[in-house]
Amino acid sequence: MALTDQSTRIRTGEELDASLIDPYLKAHIPGLSGLPQISQFPGGASNLTYLLEYPEQEFVLRRPPFGHKAKSAHDMGREFRILNQLRDGFPYCPKAYVHCTDESVIGAEFYVMERVKGIILRSELPPELGLDSAKTETLCKSFIDKFVELHRVDYNAYGLGDLGKPEGYVARQIKGWSDRYEKALTPDAPKWETVKAWLNDKMPADHPTSSIVHNDYRFDNVILDPNNPMDIIGVLDWELTTLGDPLMDLGNTLAYWIEADDPAPVQLMRRQPSHAPGMLTRREFVDYYAERAGIQIDLHLRPVPPGRHRAADLLPLLPWPDPGQTLRAVHSHEQTAGADEPASHFEIQPLITPLAPITRKNHVQDSVVRPRRQNRICIRRQPWHR
């Protein structure tokens, strides 16, 4: 079994024509010969990712999905710019070679970057890695170390001061996601008025020091050194990156951090091996992050009545919308999608079915978010020190 991330046959309807892309690349990247062999990486539920293999070098091409796209989504130029300008301060960004705005070449904007060969973890740790719990803990801490390192980058020094608006970041996130939830409501979904009121009432002030916010920092977006899998050599998927609150970025990462003893329906949504022996718990993750960042994060535990739990424990720092509702909204959209708007590349129903008893139970309880455990983790913010 190959441990390095492998490309596969291109999905039907998402083909690239080598005879069209080749002249463009040779005009912008010297030293290439022959036609590239093109295959596709199996991920890419958002932007599509292809492998281009020349005799001299391998590249990765990123382009938006086919079909209708939201106005501000899939900004290839933004991601290309982040990779190029951030790389000197955060060397785990792959080198980006060229950004093409001429849609006549392949039918959409795209950019091309180097291929960083390595291991990308999915839902389970490959046994071939031979990582015991001690090595897995080392890997986990390396993952957090890179996260802290990103948050320490002086973005102004690399010309990225206009990447976002740190002021009011938290308020915009709460308002924006509340609005998106309302727009995605289906008839059987709760309105979450209690949750939205709680979020607005408990909204913290802006962090005293803003940072680059990756917004999608997970194990399946980092590349491990194949010769030393406890070392991270690349960080991918910068399309959601902005400037904002580093602790919001931390909370977003913890939303995907599913532990070994989380409920079975939640385990179905796990996309990284955060449950493996040796991986830190969410609380340990916060403690280690604070230690490495040189900040104080006070954890306050709020007792909750026994037996009150729900699948939304995915987000331990803030309430999270009903995952069943999210999936139903996606499913409803896919049923009405046209031929030029393909459905996502995963099955919805297997996820909805086991979640249904949990979500129904919580609807009866006015859909108030209840942590699965007896205690809930909350963060008190202290000044950030570079």
Condensed to tens digits (0 to 9), the pLDDT of residues 191-203 reads 889 989 999 998 9
Q: What is the pLDDT of residue 323?
A: 39
Q: What is the pLDDT of residue 55?
A: 96
- 246 and 194: one domain? yes
Mean predicted lDDT score pLDDT of the chain = 81
pTM of the model: 0.80
Q: Is residue 11 part of a domain?
A: no
As a whole number, mean pLDDT of residues 29-49 equals 90
**Measured between alpha carbons, how far is 134 from 7 in angstroms, rounded to an integer?**
31
Q: Which of 92, 114, 136 is the last residue in one of the domains?
A: 114
Q: Is residue 6 part of a domain?
A: no
DSSP code of 72?
T
Classify the phi-psi angles of 13: left when phi > 0, otherwise alpha if psi is within -120 to 50, otherwise beta: left
- 229 and 257: one domain? yes
- 159 and 51: one domain? no
Domain count, the chain: 2
What is the CB-side half-sphere exposure of residue 8 using CA atoms within 13 A?
Answer: 8
DSSP code of 361?
H
Q: Is residue 3 part of a domain?
A: no
- 226 and 164: one domain? yes
- 38 and 93: one domain? yes
pLDDT per residue as tens digits for the range 66-88: 876 665 678 999 999 999 999 99
CA dihedral 267, 270, 275, 279 (to 10 degrees): -160
Structure tokens of 29? 């990247």
The residue range of the domain holding 309 is 127-380
- 99 and 226: one domain? no
**Measured between alpha carbons, how far is 343 from 335 in angstroms, rounded to an integer?**
8
DSSP code of 108?
S
Structure tokens of 209? 């020091």
**Measured between alpha carbons, how far is 348 from 352 in angstroms, rounded to an integer?**
6
Q: What is the pLDDT of residue 5?
A: 87
Residue of 279, 220, 207 lying closest to 250 (CA atoms): 207
Q: Identity (one letter) of the amino acid at 277?
A: P
- 106 and 238: one domain? no
- 155 and 26: one domain? no
Q: What is the pLDDT of residue 73?
A: 73
- 60 and 82: one domain? yes
Q: What is the CATH number of the domain that holds 323?
A: 3.90.1200.10
- In order, the DSSP letters of 116-172 are ---B---SS--GGG---HHHHHHHHHHHHHHHHHHHH--GGGGT-TTS---TTHHHH
Q: Is residue 277 part of a domain?
A: yes
Q: Which of 84, 114, 144 is the last residue in one of the domains?
A: 114
Q: What is the CATH number of the domain that holds 109?
A: 3.30.200.20
The answer on pLDDT for 257 being more than 80 is yes
Q: Is residue 193 part of a domain?
A: yes
CB 357 within 8 A of CB 211: no
- 262 and 204: one domain? yes
Q: How long, in residues, is the chain?
A: 386
Q: Is residue 386 part of a domain?
A: no
Q: Which of 56, 85, 114 is the last residue in one of the domains?
A: 114
E-assigned strand segments in 178-258 = 211-213, 222-225, 228-235, 242-244
More confident residue, 296 or 142: 142
